[in-house]
Amino acid sequence: MKLLRSAGVVFVFILAFQFVNIQYYGGDIFSLSSRDEFPVSIHGSTESIRPLSGPVRVNVSSWRSAEGERAGLEEDYVTGSDTNVSVQSHDDSFVETRSSLNGSDADTDALDSLVETRSSLNGSYVDIVEDAEIVNENNRNVETLESKSDDNLSPEVKRVMNVSNSGVVSISEMMSLLHQSRTTHVSLKMKRPSAVDQELLYARTQIENPPMVKNDPLLHGPLYWNLSMFKRSYELMESKLKVYVYREGKRPVFHKPVLKGIYASEGWFMRQLKASKTFVTKNPRKAHLFYLPFSSKMLEESLYVPGSHSDKNLVKFLKNYLDLVSSKYHFWNKTGGSDHFLVACHDWAPSETRQYMSNSIRALCNSDVSEGFVFGKDVALPETTILVPRRPLRALGGKPASQRHILAFFAGGMHGYLRPLLLQTWGGNRDPDMKIFSEIPKSKGKNKSYMEFMKSSKYCICPKGHEVNSPRVVEALFYECVPVIISDNFVPPFFEVINWESFAVFVLEKDIPDLKNILLSISEERYREMQMRVKMVQKHFLWHSKPERFDIFHMILHSIWYNRVFQT
């Protein structure tokens, strides 16, 4: 009997010890995941563990909008694994966080400390990883995936998120998708992080734990989702980012920037990046990013066969280029192109780059959720019209708010299905407050130009044409007119850091008949506040002959850098 009692006591003691062990170390694992902290590695070993956040691709056509059902969308990671993880969505909040780290650059010891592991009870190191969270009511499970190769770094993850039944992704839902792409991680074993990897890891922890910024003379707080994070990220980009530009590729498709017209953004970016002594490195081993220097505009002009209605030869041309650089260098194959990026403004760029450049960061003017824009990877590129390349800031500005007597203005070609509907509803002389034209009418005396209308209007209507993007969005900012964006599922430029709803109006396409009532419902005080913010955000959308801090060149580069950091 005594023997049985003794055995029972020992058994209870073992159970208690196991419970304490699980609580202590299991708690560490889950708290790391919930706080979205940095990964750990094994010092003195050739292996480490690093989580990867995955981009989110939204399949709008898969949404279920049946009455009584919750609408859902499928987001899938383009990767080499067959493992699927379902995650129930939850609301995310974006708040300022006080920094537990100082703002200075880390030395070698500080970088090493970011990947230091905790020890287990017996004194040996343990592998602690952030894992993909599977949220199912009050239950949480963690699933670990190990890669078979260093080149296979992004296992496939499928998740479900609730969206509105309208089939339109709102700005807040876009931010939630973006945030999810960064907080869902999978654990992978790989070699000890390189110096470049460690710099990116350091940048991420600095951005996630920035020094608090309440007021900044150059940056107006309400324009940004989180001013502190944006400023710290921008500073790190300035001090650390290095880009390798491939020299391969022949003109006119490669290395020939187009500086005039509605696709000028890609050309101006190409020219200014290639001329940069700050960001460009000739040593690819020091590069955080690799630039594919082609022009989508020149690709179409040079290779498209008129009347063919096919871009197959354009896609093949780009594939041949990738075959060239991947056979000559190992950098593309090492990451599957995930640290490579392109900047393309032509409407066809999403389809031309989807098949062979799907893993790369794509900065696209045609940033359409329904056309495969991948949150957490792709970047929304501003479409800017440059008429005189030598004077990109020609005619900048407009009348003050008190002198803008036209409620709303639009003039443009009747492309797509939406603009004819806009003209049919509000065009002609139907309403004197709504100046909606296909062509600006001529009258006796002095006629107002397109530019003068924009400079004199309170709200500038920016409807989609054939595609979701329109140069009118940036034109409105250029002429200090509050943009009214009517383009469902359009991802606005720099939306990952800029809060567009603080200075722009978004109207659903179905609400065009209520357009005037929507605009009149905005108080005069609110309008003046938005118009003031338009003037403040304007600098982020201006091209200068030589790049200036916080201008459009730096903002495009920052968006690419930002996504690269959060892929780490």
| Tens-place pLDDT, residues 39-93 | 333 233 333 333 344 676 665 544 333 333 323 322 232 223 333 333 333 333 3
Angle at 284 between CA 279 and CA 286, to 5 degrees: 65
30 and 175 belong to one structural domain: yes
Q: Is 209 domain-assigned?
A: no
151 C-beta neighbours (distance < 10 Å), count: 13
Q: Provide the pLDDT for residue 110.
A: 37
Q: Is 394 domain-assigned?
A: no
Determine the Cα–Cα distance for residues 369 and 373; give it in Å rounded to an integer.
5
Q: Which of 195, 224, 253 delimits the end of a domain? A: 195
163-172, 456-465, 488-497: lowest mean pLDDT where? 163-172
73 and 138 belong to one structural domain: yes
Q: Which of 135, 169, 195 delimits the end of a domain? A: 195
167 and 283 belong to one structural domain: no
Q: Provide the pLDDT for residue 183.
A: 66
Determine the Cα–Cα distance for residues 146 and 513; give it in Å rounded to an integer.
54
Give the percent of the chain with pLDDT over 90: 66
Q: Is 136 domain-assigned?
A: yes
Q: Which of 128, 163, 195 delimits the end of a domain? A: 195
Determine the Cα–Cα distance for residues 279 and 289; give it in Å rounded to an integer.
10
Q: Is 437 domain-assigned?
A: yes
Q: How many domains does the chain have?
A: 3
Q: Provide the pLDDT for residue 7.
A: 59
Q: Are residues 344 and 363 in contact, defined by beta-carbon separation less than 8 angstroms?
A: yes
Token pair listed for 294: 């082609």
Minimal CA–CA distance to 324: which of 273, 230, 254, 221? 254
Helix/strand number for the chain, H first, E second: 16, 18
| Tens-place pLDDT, residues 227-257 | 999 999 999 999 999 999 999 999 999 999 9
106-115, 364-373, 421-430: lowest mean pLDDT where? 106-115
489 and 414 belong to one structural domain: yes
3-state helix, strand, coil in the chain (%, to 5): 40, 15, 45
Give the percent of the chain with pLDDT over 70: 69
Q: Provide the pLDDT for residue 11.
A: 58
372 and 405 belong to one structural domain: no
Q: Provide the pLDDT for residue 44.
A: 32
Bridge partners (DSSP) listed for residue 75: 58, 159
Q: Is 494 domain-assigned?
A: yes
Cα 230 to chain centroid, rounded? 13
Q: Is 236 domain-assigned?
A: no
Torsion, Cα of 342, 343, 349, 352 (10° steps): -20
pTM: 0.74
342 and 439 belong to one structural domain: no
Q: Is 179 domain-assigned?
A: yes
Minimal CA–CA distance to 233: which of 211, 216, 254? 211
Bridge partners (DSSP) listed for residue 483: 460
Q: At what angle do helices 195-208 and 552-565 cross, to 10 degrees?
A: 100
512 and 437 belong to one structural domain: yes
Q: Is 5 domain-assigned?
A: no
pLDDT of 218 above 80: yes
Its domain, for residue 321, covers: 241-389+553-565
354 and 461 belong to one structural domain: no
Q: What is the CATH number of the domain that holds 478?
A: 3.40.50.11660
| Tens-place pLDDT, residues 332-362 | 999 999 999 999 999 999 999 999 999 999 9
Cα 103 to chain centroid, rounded? 24
Residue with the larger pLDDT of the pair 286 and 129: 286
95 and 166 belong to one structural domain: yes
130 Cβ neighbours under 8 A, 6+ residues apart: 32, 33, 36, 37, 39, 51, 185, 187
Q: Provide the pLDDT for residue 429.
A: 84
Token pair listed for 114: 């970011």
31 Cβ neighbours under 8 A, 6+ residues apart: none
Measured in Å, how far apart are the chain's first and last C-alpha atoms? 60
58 and 168 belong to one structural domain: yes
Minimal CA–CA distance to 58: which of 165, 186, 178? 178
Rg (the chain; Cα; Å): 26
528 and 414 belong to one structural domain: yes
Mean pLDDT to the nearest integer, 201-224: 96
Mean pLDDT to the nearest integer, 466-473: 97
43 and 174 belong to one structural domain: yes
423: confidence class by pLDDT, cuts 50, 70, 90: very high
Token pair listed for 322: 């990738």
